[in-house]
Chain A
């Protein structure tokens, strides 16, 4: 069974204070690792897909990296508008579904 564990559960940063969120996973035959952003009461918004170890993707202040066991979402010089819950999900090779972690609630204070 695919499993995803995200840490920390919550992270509070000051504006401009860079940090990283962790997503550890176990999956049989990784078909893709996905990062989403979710604002309160809204649907998850797609950020990145990573497919193989060593891959990196960037978007504005966010950078996602992937190893064989975990993924990191690095946030550089965050702003208050980056405050949200960040979700990690994996798709294994034996099925079509996404398995989600429970998310990291990021709060960036001005």
Chain B
């Protein structure tokens, strides 16, 4: 089954404790992206990756890191989480972002709480 998977689905942590949220897709997609969703603010892009070893900032990159060492994986790293990073996080992928036909498919989400 074609899908985007994220782990963990739920995470409660404390301020300053480094964490990684994994994202994997099995569709051989070139483009991958991370979003956060907050009440009243909608979905906002954090980082995106056009291909292996190619990443760039989205609208709200502060406090986050990403890496793309393999095509299928795009982990989101919070080096020193803070309470304002409490949010619902989504990973998404599409075959190739610049093609007019491309649609982004979303993972199930990771609900992160930073105390």
Contacts and interface: CB of A to CB of B under 8 A. Distances in A.
Interface of A: 31-32, 34, 36, 41-46, 49, 51, 87, 89, 91, 96-98, 100-103
A7 to B, nearest CB: 14
Interface string B22-52: 0000000001010000001111110010100
A57 to B, nearest CB: 12
B44 to A, nearest CB: 8
A46 B105 contact: yes
A96 B98 contact: yes
A49 B105 CA distance: 12
Contacts of A51: 100
Interface residues of B, number: 28
Given A43-B109, A97-B58, A34 B103 contact: yes
30 contacts: A31-B100, A32-B102, A34-B103, A34-B104, A41-B109, A41-B111, A42-B109, A43-B90, A43-B109, A44-B43, A44-B90, A44-B106, A45-B106, A46-B105, A49-B103, A91-B97, A96-B48, A96-B50, A96-B98, A97-B33, A97-B45, A97-B48, A97-B59, A98-B43, A98-B45, A100-B44, A101-B42, A102-B40, A102-B42, A103-B42
